[in-house]
Structure 1
């Protein structure tokens, strides 16, 4: 080829089996890419290419799209998205569960700075509004390796509007709506809420509906970590549907599952899923998502009653030094992870503890034994030590039965996500993510649920992690391998994945995904991260 002649295409993946994201079975095909797009899919492609990668014996799929990620918490400290991009995740839907680090009130900046430092970000919090956060992530500091599409958090809207407790009057709702409008004008997908913890727990249904009404002007999505997933699951689902129905909104029910052994009525999850199906049949655009493991992350303060938190975390920490307060709390923390009230602290591991990082990764009973006290006092001591950072204490819980996880994963109305955040094997993030959820959560769907347990076929698992998610969030031209689509691609080594134990935390990055392409550029090649930051901000389509 003459030196002054450009190749016909930029990249060709040669000799692989293609699972194209539509649900159709694998087929032998090469994939050609030019200018960030797939330009041809077929056997025997002979176009001159700037780069040719032999993927014989491997499987080419659309890059995975996580419908429920919290990587907005860690992306500023991990722009290379090390733990997720190496699993083939090329796009993440972030800003979930009501918790985003914008918009911010002037008094919220210091708390955001502290929280982000624990996620590996040592820069300054220079933004206040949601557009400023997008600027910091996507147009400053070198960008990101993966694509991101964003929700704005309802709890953040409350904080920025200086709404406290349950008293969101008309002026407070108006201030929240203005912040929401600013985020939507910047391209946010919609608003997320988290109603089991923090400020979201104080919000009334009326407040949520009034603020969410703003979304209707933008065709925005209301996504919700609903108010209860045990005894009152059906009431919480009814509230979620009522908010969506009142605003005529598209709606996403985040991680619709039921925590094992917490008092949910028999058949409640099936009835909840049936209600979603009935609403879809009646014309509502509603879906849910599910997580891959029986484990999940949670906020330690979710167990605490409102009266303890009413005057802020500093005051709550001081109260935790009072033996009488602790005695009262032992009978007044029966919420969120209710199984601890049955003495099942063995299901709880400390994931993140700003004041006592040396305890991270240990179960509450292990810590209690080390401290020579019971589990309740250990829990209270962790929170008291955190003080003003109490809301940043995170737990990992063994929440669901394997049978329930498999049933939800297979349900036709459920996209497949992880409910974690991108991490890395060094620095502050390494210390707080010592669990397979962060390093093999995405490959677990293929390794375990497809190749080992047979929960799903390969083509259906790929569809539920690619085109189904792209269609749900209107990510046009993504989630499929077809001519004209954005070239977000992952190459899987199925025999290697089949042999893996993705339930085990190894402290290493995932293997079994040797090549990853984002917007037409190789980011991972021969299992090495190239340092490429080809990700884009994906505004509402």
Structure 2
């Protein structure tokens, strides 16, 4: 007797293999059979006729550390078919924070929580324990952030860490890895981590290999200095002898348009010598903290949140500057602290990076923005709809692989990201003819189109446009650490 059967659908199994007609039978939290199950009894049968039945999507780059606790229904992710998130990216994690976090919260940690009350966990283990006690609707794999470690231990974030501070950071990082973190992330492009030398990063991350962890990095430069930043990234990976994940690979600034023709072969060459992978979000605009230097390099900017002027969220910086009667830089200064969407990339570079076979999909969504970048709610359906169906940039099988089997393999998530007997029963069904992001820049926030069912660990969690309850999300570890 199956607990649940997805019947009559077309299975795309996450490996990149061609689609096939098959039923998927689930017992408890795992897939028990894939094939013709028409004569098999089941407690519940889900009619998947006309739908694609795929593994649940894995968000390779998320910032849901606080959302997992504050909104455990995880609607922005669940509604687009995501069943597992990799959070703690770009050097930012909620834990560990063994001392009171500065007020106001030090950027970019304010992207996770602006009030600071969420940074209450002295240890990473305490944070994970609360997630176990109050499980969210989806699975979570966590990184510990290097910037968080700096804030937790250093008196002067504008300096290189002392030997004693590096020792304290390494101790906190080791505790996080032992508790269940899958690796360490850095955000070396942010002011709070720019002073960190390569040596500091290597020494703080010195225990990664012993715990089988990965090194994920928002590199030091994603514009004119990107080749040097890539070289540093590969060097850190070699010194630590660990896999490297290049976060949200992009080329920022008009002077760098087209340089993906240079970066991708360099990444490919490095990957022949050491474990290297990358993720990308399917948009030509990024989103992060509002900073004057970023505004100078970008003609079009949309404000996503502002502490002194919350009413300006969703408006362009040009419009706000005009209403204030000042120039753009002065307007940005008046809006800070805040967040913004920056249109700083070339669409052809985005195409080239997305189409690169080893590229995983990550949303890089910021769930606490008042008017968020549409990637928070729509990154994965946009890959399926805009890029696979409309643009034919790659096949639907390839698109699904980029969001399922590929990240599962790169992060070492054994038994996830595929539809096969014995695998975890994380399933997403969608209508291949209608699936796409639900809104674009400046539009009203709404769920994606075409996502019909989402099952997490064998239980339906999303169905026909609404959450189904029964939170069954769990901590996901690398297989090397299981």
TM-score of the aligned structures, taking structure 1 as reference length: 0.84
Structure 2 residue ranges without an equivalent (≥5)? none
Q: Distance in 2 between matches of 1:106 and 1:419?
A: 28
Q: Is the counterpart of residue 103 in structure 1 residue 58 in structure 2?
A: no
Give the Å deviation of 1:34.
0.5
Where do 1:277-296 residues align within 5 Å? Answer: 277-282=268-273, 284-296=274-286
List per-residue Cα deviations over 1:318-339 (Å, max 9, x = no partner): xxxxxxxxxxxxxxx4xxx3xx
Q: Partner residue of 2:358?
A: 413
Distance 1:186 1:499, change over 3 A: closer
Answer whether contact 2:363 2:380 (CA < 8 A) is retained: yes
Distance 1:57 1:522, change over 3 A: same
Q: Partner residue of 1:341?
A: 296
Give the Å deviation of 1:52.
0.6
Answer whether contact 1:155 1:193 (CA < 8 A) is retained: yes
List per-residue Cα deviations over 1:122-176 (Å, max 9, x = no partner): 976542111112122x123x31011000100000111112252223121111111
The DSSP-based 3-state class of the residue aligned with 2:91 is coil
Give the Å deviation of 1:54.
0.6
Give the Å deviation of 1:494.
1.4
Q: Partner residue of 1:253?
A: 246
Answer whether contact 2:104 2:115 (CA < 8 A) is retained: no
Paired residues in the alignment total 477
Give the Å deviation of 1:255.
1.2
Answer whether contact 2:215 2:244 (CA < 8 A) is retained: yes
Q: Partner residue of 2:128?
A: 134
Q: Partner residue of 1:313?
A: none
Q: Partner residue of 1:158?
A: 150
The equivalent position to 1:397 in structure 2, one of 337, 342, 348, is 342
Q: Partner residue of 2:305?
A: 352
Give the Å deviation of 1:440.
1.4
Q: Distance in 1 between matches of 2:154 and 2:12?
A: 49
Distance 1:120 1:170, change over 3 A: closer
Q: Distance in 2 between matches of 1:503 and 1:395?
A: 12
**Which 10-residue stretch deviates more, 109-118 or 351-360?**
109-118
The equivalent position to 2:263 in structure 1, one of 269, 272, 275, is 272
Where do 1:121-270 residues align within 5 Å? Answer: 126-136=120-130, 138-140=131-133, 142-162=134-154, 164=156, 165-261=158-254, 263-264=255-256, 268-270=259-261
Give the Å deviation of 1:527.
2.3
Give the root-mean-square deviation of aligned CA atoms. 2.3
Give the Å deviation of 1:341.
3.1
Distance 1:122 1:203, change over 3 A: closer
List per-residue Cα deviations over 1:485-515 (Å, max 9, x = no partner): 0000000011222697767734221221110
Q: Partner residue of 2:474?
A: 536
Q: Distance in 2 between matches of 1:365 and 1:105?
A: 41
Q: Distance in 2 between matches of 1:536 and 1:45?
A: 31
Q: Is the counterpart of residue 513 in structure 1 residue 446 in structure 2?
A: no
Give the Å deviation of 1:433.
3.3
Q: Distance in 1 between matches of 2:402 and 2:78?
A: 18
List per-residue Cα deviations over 1:385-411 (Å, max 9, x = no partner): xxxxx3xx2111112122111110010
Give the Å deviation of 1:69.
0.7
Which of the pair is proportionally richer in helix? 1
Question: Which protein shows a greater Rg?
Answer: 1
